[in-house]
Amino acid sequence: MHFFRSKAFRQLKKNRLAIAGIIFILALFVIAALAPYIAPYNPYQTDFFRTLEGPSRQHLLGTDDLGRDVLSRIIHGARISITIGFISVAIGLAVGVPIGAISGYYGGKIDILVQRLVDIMMAFPGMLLAIIIVSVMGVGLVNAMIAVGIVSIPTYIRLVRGSVLSIKNNEFVEAAKALGVRESKIIFKHVLPHCLAPIIVQSSLQVGAAILWAAGLGFLGLGAQAPIPEWGAMLSQGRGYIRTAHHVTTYPGLAIMLTVLGFNLFGDGLRDALDPKMSRD
């Protein structure tokens, strides 16, 4: 509750683009939560007599190549995309934050080893690394989430390491050492709480990136498999009809674009609110 009375919250409320992003994200959560009740049709229900129909009163966004309602599949796909985004970010946080904190706090050989491993991982483009991981682990939605989560780990390691390096020599850390506080307690109860702002901002931006990467894997056939209504997989299934029935790919593509945009607008606004020096105003 303290955040809602803080200067950062007041600054966030002034950012109209950030508010627009928040509204869209909240709407997406509501749609995902109520998907079984607001979707006009079963997303898996086929009708071979109504394939590739354009938008109409019966099917507001048309039907796909199997006669399934595109709107219903997009609504149910929101659940999958949100799940992908948050689980992937959770994996990155769970692994990257403690490793980054330990690397920055102890330094020396531990830091050198961790940073060289990070350099190796970051030498690969994110999507390429995700493709390699999925190829090794096997195709599927769960493995795609794990792969996207692994790809985000180096980002969190570097972010937290940099924050810890700027904090670990502060007086309150030296005082805790002088009092004989265990180093593990100093790291996780005294140092890391001061790194929360950049971690929160990065996580809000990373959700959108995770959704985009997972959609890319789905488009390549490495993520969610048919008949799961995942937006990237829907794009892949409809690409053969882009000239004759563009609605099959247009609307899932718009869903991906707007979702990623919403998280990016929110993340940018949160960054400006939590770190005024980064403000573009």
Q: Domain 28-50+57-278 sits in which CATH superfamily? A: MetI-like (1.10.3720.10)
Region 207-214: what's the mean pLDDT?
Answer: 93
| CA 3 vs CA 10, 11, 270, 279: distances in Å | 9, 11, 12, 19
pLDDT band at 130 (very low <50, low <70, confident <90, very high): very high
pLDDT for 17-37, tens place per residue? 899 999 999 999 999 999 999
pLDDT for 65-123, tens place per residue? 999 999 999 999 999 999 999 999 999 999 999 999 999 999 889 999 999 999 999 99
Residue 273 confidence (pLDDT):
81
CB 273 within 8 Å of CB 9: yes
Residue 80 confidence (pLDDT):
93
CB 269 within 8 Å of CB 200: no
Q: In the chain, pLDDT over 70 holds for what percent of residues?
A: 94
Rg of the chain, C-alpha, whole Å: 22
Region 46-70: what's the mean pLDDT?
Answer: 92
Inform me whether the pLDDT recorded for 233 exceeds 50.
Answer: yes
**Average pLDDT of every residue of the chain:** 89
